[in-house]
Structure 1
């Protein structure tokens, strides 16, 4: 495993290469490859390992027994998933984790931190502190989705989402991580209605787009 690459992620920030190496051994690090749309973790199961996306991306989604899908978040390279479930260890997942594209994932047995002596392993406290940052960031992502889906109209939802992406990217030109169906599932709206509304917004000069690349042209009220 490339310690230099891992040191750039939030979880291993501030750890030396030697500490990262020791952590990889203690957490029983393991890399796995997944094809696009392959299931990584399933709702109802438990896990003792969190995942770090090394290449590709995954999506966190909720699928009910009636075949309805809601996409909750997108996890890209350098980002983590299932850290809360892995730390709790015996809590059943309420969501599915699916490869959004061909992906390479590093799994870490984070539950082992509870059994590792921080007094004799310098990396433990650093990792726990960083894990808190990871969890706090994940809470921001999930709360952000509530802002995106709270407007009553499809246009309101789209504008709320695009505004957030623009702020995060620091530009009015940006790519989103979703195709049309995934965006509809994320915003919890009908795909046909979404496409129709996007077309109206484009004709009105509010936005332009080509596939998943968007540009905000001017502000509009919800």
Structure 2
């Protein structure tokens, strides 16, 4: 396996605490497939047959939930080392529950889920850690989906933005940080229009609460931001 790919894989949460040497042996059993997708193409399409647990090796992609009417919501943005399709991997339902869209040229490794829980012919110790990592990932994803539902329940625009920025502040532990989502992605994540989001961010800037430039945000008045989240 290419050294650059191994470097990305060992940094991926599914291979946490698995050494490069163990990973090399495991990949012989897992027999992954690597595919390349051009920018603005679909890596996976909601409703189509499931093709395996995906690990993004290069590029950037978004996971999108689409309704029958054609509206869409960006669930998250993934980058090298991130996974997708883990929630459906061990389900009897074998169709993609959401679409994965390549925002740039992407290289993706697909792991057959039956190989993850199957017996390792090399009897390598990494398999126990792999299964443990999968359980942690599934638990974390369940918590994230719960957070998404919480945002849907929030009615006020200012409240949604304030809560989101406060969460990013807690994650980064500093007043200036880079948002993980672009403006249109953030609008989809919060289930608001981009125009309304931009307008409210502008008001918060004019009130001296925040400053922003593209995805960079600086909190100038933490107390006022917290009041907006109430």
TM-score by length of 1: 0.89
Are 2:144 and 1:136 equivalent residues in the alignment?
no
Asked whether the equivalents of residues 148 and 158 of structure 1 are also in contact (C-alpha less than 8 Å), the reply is no
Question: 1:1-222 maps to which residues of 2 (within 5 A)?
Answer: 1=1, 2=3, 3-88=6-91, 90-117=93-120, 120-219=123-222, 220=224, 221-222=227-228
CA shift, 1:53, in A, is 1.7
Rounded to whole Å, the distance in 1 between the matches of 2:19 and 2:156 is 49
> Aligned partners of 1:102 and 1:4: how far apart in 2?
19
Question: After the TM superposition, which of the residue ranges 97-106 and 123-132 deviates more from structure 2?
Answer: 97-106
Deviation for aligned residue 1:171: 2.0
Partner Cα separation in structure 2 for residue 121 and residue 181 of structure 1: 45
Deviations 1:28-53 (A, max 9, x none): 22222223332111111232411112
Give me the whole-angstrom Cα distance separating, in 2, the residues matched to 1:149 and 1:171.
Answer: 27
Looking at structure 2, the residues matched to 145 and 90 of structure 1 have their Cα atoms a distance apart, in angstroms, of 22
TM-score (norm 2): 0.86
CA offsets, 1:148-171, max 9 Å, x none?
A: 343211111111111112212222
Number of positions where the alignment pairs a residue of Structure 1 with one of Structure 2: 222
Q: How far is 1:89 from its partner?
A: 6.1
Post-superposition shift, 1:59? 1.3
1:65 is displaced (CA, Å) by 2.3
Measured in 2, the distance between the counterparts of 1:21 and 1:119 equals 11
Shift of 1:12: 1.3
Q: Which moved more, 1:202-211 or 1:129-138?
A: 129-138
Note the residue ranges of structure 2 that are not aligned, 5 or more in a row. none
Q: Is the 8 A contact 1:89 1:111 kept in 2?
A: no
Q: Distance in 2 between matches of 1:35 and 1:174?
A: 30
RMSD: 2.1
Q: Distance in 2 between matches of 1:162 and 1:13?
A: 29
Distance apart, 1:117 and its partner CA: 4.5
Deviations 1:104-144 (A, max 9, x none): 22221222223325893422211101111222222232223
